Chain A
């Protein structure tokens, strides 16, 4: 298999392939390089997405767009469970400061617009809010972990 080069032609080819075969996610790696592409529907926003400029950059290489909701390989979730995904690459914080209690915990009820977590990128603290009123079934990420685009953060059961 050809190794990934972070050059625009190669990226364009890979993106076209993903489009053509309707792949949501694609990863190509060798010892030194890892290229991870994730696709998601156009109507979902993303923030602070770093474009690729560093030649041969690994790690946060080539994020194109965040994935649609859904954890790859996870069992299907009930229809009333929403997956809150990260709209950006950054560091996940479950609380406003290291000493504060978490914004939300498993089993906690949340209201629409309630702050669920903060994701930091480039000294911008981004508040991620609940999009519906419901119950947090699971917080999927630990405090201080790095998150990628589209990475599932919370499972929330919508109130009917």
Chain B
């Protein structure tokens, strides 16, 4: 893991916001927490925190995110203005950027896919996740975008071994810095495009990687589940759920998608 700890290599790999600092740690409780602290101290957009493993990685609702060695865990800082917050969600852009970056490494027949809104799947199993945490300070909005991706072969805990996979399982094994370089090349292009109002094109690219689009799904919300057809994405990337008789459409901004068999 010497390469992982080479801060210079990560600085070069980022190719975005060249003036912003990069911190590389062998192990951290959570890259999101560390970056939130740096953001509070005034860190500029693009500040990057990388870790080889996390002891307290998080998913939604305080669920733990298994972060063993062999994965790559990083968080970077966005300082979106209000106009940007009304556009396509940066978490979805992040998920798509992971897919595009993986395209360069994984075999052609293993096309990375997205589970709405931003889980990245290889062969139907989760390989990467994105979690955003936002606060508003006197310096404006701080959005910490955290990503975890299983690059090398990792030993998963029993409870996720059936649903998780690694990039290495496809036969590819990109170096962390090589993956990060590809990710930031992709993310920067997409994010700038969203800034210029090009969200629709990116939505189309993301849609093309969502296998459950157009199909019946069950969406697990916080207190209930709803079913319908996943009929499309809204401008911010929300899930448009159409009732089976086609008379109602609702946009959801949160929830867990489960594929169901058509009746």
Contacts and interface: CB of A to CB of B under 8 A. Distances in A.
Nearest to B200: A53
A90 B253 contact: yes
Contact of B134 (A59, A99, A125): A125
A91 B235 CA distance: 18
B253 A120 contact: yes
A47 B253 contact: no
A31 B240 CA distance: 18
Contacts of A16: none
Nearest to B238: A50
Contacts, number: 131
A89 interface: yes
B86 interface: yes
Given A54-B234, A120-B253, A122-B236, A46 B91 contact: no
B221 A121 contact: no
A49 B222 contact: no
Nearest to A125: B133
B136 A125 contact: no
A99 B62 CA distance: 9
A129 B135 contact: yes
A49 B89 CA distance: 10
Nearest to B81: A45
Contacts of A100: 62
A160 interface: no
A45 to B, nearest CB: 5
Interface string A139-150: 000011110000
B232 A54 contact: yes
A32 B249 CA distance: 9
B131 interface: yes
Given A45-B82, A60-B250, A51 B236 contact: yes
A125 B135 CA distance: 9
A58 B250 contact: yes
A122 B235 contact: no
Given A53-B200, A124-B91, A93 B61 contact: yes
A20 interface: no
Nearest to A120: B254
Contacts of B135: 126-127, 129
A54 B249 contact: yes
Given A57-B240, A126-B135, 11 more contacts: A45-B136, A46-B86, A57-B251, A59-B248, A99-B62, A122-B132, A123-B89, A123-B117, A124-B133, A125-B132, A129-B136
Interface of A: 31-32, 45-54, 56-60, 89-91, 93, 96-100, 120-127, 129, 143-146
Q: Which 4 A-B pairs have the closest CB atoms?
A: A97-B62, A144-B222, A122-B89, A124-B132
14 contacts: A47-B141, A49-B236, A53-B235, A57-B234, A58-B249, A91-B254, A98-B61, A120-B60, A122-B237, A123-B60, A123-B117, A125-B133, A144-B222, A144-B223
